[in-house]
Amino acid sequence: MDHDMTTGREWKSILFFALPLMGSGLLQTMYSFADSVIVGNFVGETAFGAIGLLASLIMLVNMFCTSLGNGVSIVVSQFYGAGRKEDVRETADSALMLSGMVAVVVTLCLLLSRPVISGFLRTPEDMLGYSLQYFRVYAIGLLFQFVYQVAYGILRAHGDSRGAMFFLLVSAVLNVGLDLLFVIVFHWEVLGAVSATVISQAGAAAACLAYLHRHYPHLSPLNPANRIFRPEKIRLIRKISIPILCQSSVLCIGFIVLQRLVNSFGAASIEGYAAMQKVESFIHIIPGTLNSAMASFTGQNMGAGKPDRVRRGFRSTALMALGVSAVIAAVMIAFDRPFLSVFGISEEGLKRGCEHLDLLVIFMLANSVYTVAAGLLQGAGDVKITALASFVNLFIRVGSAYLMAGTSISYRCIWLSLPPAWTTNLLINLARYLSGAWTKKTLVTKA
């Protein structure tokens, strides 16, 4: 099931690796979308808003899982490209053991989150009960996410992106089926929606481990001989994962601060912003998967000592990202109201959501190229610059939004802060790519 991306046409290697990732991303987004549609239409707009205002906080939580998975993927991909099979095994085994330990610590911290939800986010009183209930149950399911993301990162490092289609198909079918059962039949409301999500995540983790055990038995944690913990491999993972986590966390913290600002503009802004974010998650599928594909492609080729091949791959992938983003922008602008209206939100919420969505998709062109550049830098092990770019992005986005909030711009400050932030982010990452400094950041050498 391995896919060696160090030979052949660059664009084909990246595209064929990315296509299953896109399908996986679509499945993952679909079941989150289904959650929101079912809650919005069968529980009510208050419950929909209560879950929606948690989006940035849940994103921050998920970044702990994905950052560890991405760090593992980059380290394993460089060892794989360098032909160092024993190091691949030791890194994979150590990472899977690490994921369980980190999950326990993070979950215990999140169960004490009431002050953030009720105080900092200024959650309206009629939404607070729903929000707390949803987040606490969601936190309990984090162990499954950690295991899934690390195992999936190991597979991506081997060029195996097809397995995730199977994992997430299991998860999507479970989630939608249980959503319908728990919310519509059993009337469990928000508890039903989050229970369906956690059970589906457990299904994805189980399917992922079963796939790993069948196709990569030398890496499976189900095999007692593979339970190896190497501190030196953990240090390599930490070296990559922590800057990625800082980068992602900074963005998420920025979204949490922005959510506080959104909440201050009332229920219409909360509903419109929540609906827009659900549609936005579809928009990010293709750029996001090209980011992952570029990171794995770069990791393998830098491990194999082929930086020129990485440069050619970047040019092809950036052009793909630009073309796709332009098509998405045209479709979203033409059909913004139908897309957002499926959540059953108010007319004013719909209006605000459409304005936000239209501006966002226009500037997705710049953001898509940044995403590909960030994937290259991360895959090469040059992760500090992408983290720095995120800090700058946060400062501009949040700072300008709060400055505009007290003016006649009012609630529109949330989306008008996007253009300068995303453009600056793009310029920083492109400058680093053009400098060539990333070619000296390789973690491993060829065997």
Work out the burial of residue 396: count CB atoms within 10 Å of its CB; fewer than 13 is exposed, 13-18 middle, 19 or more buried. Answer: buried
Cβ contacts of 59 within 8 Å, gap of 6 or more: 252, 255
4 in a structural domain: no
CA angle 360, 28, 337 (to 5 degrees): 40
Listing DSSP states for 56-99 in one string gives HHHHHHHHHHHHHHHHHHHHHHHHHHTT-HHHHHHHHHHHHHHH
| Domains: count for the chain | 1
The whole-number pLDDT of residue 20 equals 84
The whole-number pLDDT of residue 335 equals 93
- How far apart are alpha carbons 83 and 88 in whole angstroms? 9
Q: At what angle do helices 55-81 and 85-110 cross, to 10 degrees?
A: 170
447 in a structural domain: no
Cβ contacts of 231 within 8 Å, gap of 6 or more: none
347 in a structural domain: yes
- Specify the 3-state DSSP secondary structure of 265: coil
247 in a structural domain: yes
The whole-number pLDDT of residue 100 equals 84
Dihedral over Cα of 232, 233, 239, 245: its sign: negative
What are φ and ψ of residue 380, in 5° steps? -80, -10
Residues 112/42, Cβ–Cβ less than 8 Å = no
Please write the tens of the pLDDT for every residue from 274-324: 889 888 888 888 888 999 899 889 988 998 899 999 999 999 999 999 999
Please write the tens of the pLDDT for every residue from 144-165: 989 888 988 888 888 887 777 7
338 in a structural domain: yes
Beta-carbon count within 10 A of 44 CB: 14
Work out the burial of residue 359: count CB atoms within 10 Å of its CB; fewer than 13 is exposed, 13-18 middle, 19 or more buried. Answer: middle
2 in a structural domain: no
The whole-number pLDDT of residue 447 equals 55
Dihedral over Cα of 155, 156, 158, 159: its sign: positive
Listing DSSP states for 209-225 in one string gives HHHHHHH-TTT-TTSGG
**Whole-prediction pTM:** 0.76
CA-based Rg of the chain, rounded to a whole angstrom? 21
Tokens of 7: 């030979």
- Specify the 3-state DSSP secondary structure of 162: coil
Q: Quick one: which of 386, 68, 64 has its CA closest to 238?
A: 68
The boundaries of the domain holding residue 70 are: 10-440
The whole-number pLDDT of residue 445 equals 65
445 in a structural domain: no
The whole-number pLDDT of residue 1 equals 59
137 in a structural domain: yes
Per-residue confidence in pLDDT tens, the chain, 447 aa: 567 788 889 999 999 888 888 887 787 777 677 777 788 788 887 888 888 788 778 888 888 888 898 889 889 988 988 888 888 888 888 888 888 888 888 888 777 778 888 887 778 888 888 989 998 898 888 889 898 889 888 888 888 877 777 777 788 888 888 988 999 899 899 899 899 989 988 988 888 888 888 888 888 877 776 677 788 888 888 888 888 887 777 777 777 888 889 988 988 998 899 889 888 888 888 888 999 899 889 988 998 899 999 999 999 999 999 999 999 999 999 999 999 988 888 899 999 999 999 999 999 888 899 999 999 998 888 888 888 888 888 889 899 999 999 899 999 999 899 899 999 989 999 999 999 999 988 777 665
